[in-house]
Amino acid sequence: MAQWGRRLNKNPTSVAAVALQAKTRPPVGHAKGGVHPSRTFIIVTAVVVVAVLALPWMHPGYRLLSFAVTTCLTAIVLYGMAVPFGQAGIMSLGYAGLMGFGAYTAAILSRDLGMNMWQAMPFSALVAALFAGLFGLPSLRISGHHFAIVTWVMCELLRITLVNGGKFTGAATGLDLPPIGKAFGLDMDKLANAYLLVAAFMLLCMLATYLIANSRYGRTLRSIRENEQLARAIGVNTDLLKLTAFMASGVFAGIAGDLQAYNFRHISPDLYGGAVSMYFALMVMLGGPRTLFGPLTGALIVTFLPEVMRIDPIDSRIAYGVALIAVIMLLPGGIIAVTERGYRWLAEAVRGARKGVSSPGADSSTA
């Protein structure tokens, strides 16, 4: 052991690598010190998946089911945000614009080339990914709130461009799209089937985010979040990783835009402005960008619950502002992260109490 320590001291890069590895903790949901997910995490995931897919059979009504579709579309974007923000620690306020690139690509391809949703989806994802890389370029020179402001401005410039795009973008009135039609033998004109389609994509994006977070690529992104200078010192190409993280998140946003365009059948520039991006940022921070269920929870709190509880829009905006301040000051990891920490603390307390109860019996038996 001493010889191994002396070998490390002779190689500063190895010392830095060990220090960085120690700071880069495994993602939430895994057993302490392990690689495989915990049993509780698997059970909770199964319950969430079943609940999401079983919603149409609970007969929630047309209104709530339509808001559930919007919630799933929003969650897809938020899971994309969780890659650069949750893993690399880089916040962008341009995701509504990236969603807009995906939606308008699908609408224009449908109008000019007659493509359906499935044919346009790869192009929507590709265009959104390319512009996500463009949005991410300033992160190579600036960071923090400066970068967030730059991406917000880019999102607003896109909205202004769409408004003044004339017949090509439909100007302020936007563009219409045809119905999805049939998919997998199901009529997507029925809202329940459309919900199941969007929910399936949302669950796939959740799985993709989980796989990214638990891959070598995800661990390297977390090294940027923990200490970018140290990551550079040990040879990590942080610039390339940042851009690829943004482009990966752009794929999520492009897919969400394509699905949104065909589910709404009409899109307009106001759907993709800076205000919508601010709501996306609020949602992902409320739920927690570093947890598997954080983005979905944020989308439920901001998109779905106010409609279920019939909260006045003005009151809900005030509540969002108060909640955002509370999360930033008191719950920086988001609601789900705090819930998981509370569950772990309670589990350890119960385990310790059981050991305390069983130890006197063991002592008496040995006596």
For residue 243, the enclosing domain spans: 45-275
The answer to whether residue 22 is domain-embedded is: no
The answer to whether residue 337 is domain-embedded is: no
The answer to whether residue 184 is domain-embedded is: yes
- According to the model, what pLDDT value does residue 30 have? 54
The answer to whether residue 355 is domain-embedded is: no
The answer to whether residue 54 is domain-embedded is: yes
Would you write out the chain's pLDDT as a tens digit for each of its 367 residues? Answer: 333 333 334 444 443 444 455 444 555 555 554 557 778 889 999 999 999 999 999 988 888 899 999 999 999 999 999 999 989 989 999 999 999 999 999 999 999 999 999 999 999 999 999 999 999 998 888 888 889 899 999 999 999 999 998 899 999 899 999 988 887 777 888 899 999 999 999 999 999 999 999 999 999 999 998 888 898 998 889 999 999 999 999 999 999 999 999 999 999 999 998 889 988 998 998 888 888 999 999 999 888 777 766 777 677 777 777 877 877 777 777 888 888 888 788 878 887 777 776 655 545 444 4
Total Cβ atoms within 10 A of residue 162: 25
- According to the model, what pLDDT value does residue 359 have? 59
Spatial CA neighbour of 334 closest among 68, 33, 82, 136? 82
The answer to whether residue 112 is domain-embedded is: yes
User: Exposure string (b/e) for 231-248, b if CB count within 10 Å is 16 or more?
Assistant: beebebebeebbbbbbbb
- According to the model, what pLDDT value does residue 361 have? 52
- According to the model, what pLDDT value does residue 304 have? 77
Question: What separation in angstroms does the CA of 10 have from each of 4, 19, 128, 197, 334?
Answer: 10, 15, 46, 57, 41
Contact 95, 280 (CB under 8 A): yes
The answer to whether residue 349 is domain-embedded is: no
Total of domains in the chain? 1
The answer to whether residue 335 is domain-embedded is: no
- According to the model, what pLDDT value does residue 264 have? 92
Integer Cα distance of 266 and 281 in angstroms: 24
- According to the model, what pLDDT value does residue 27 have? 53
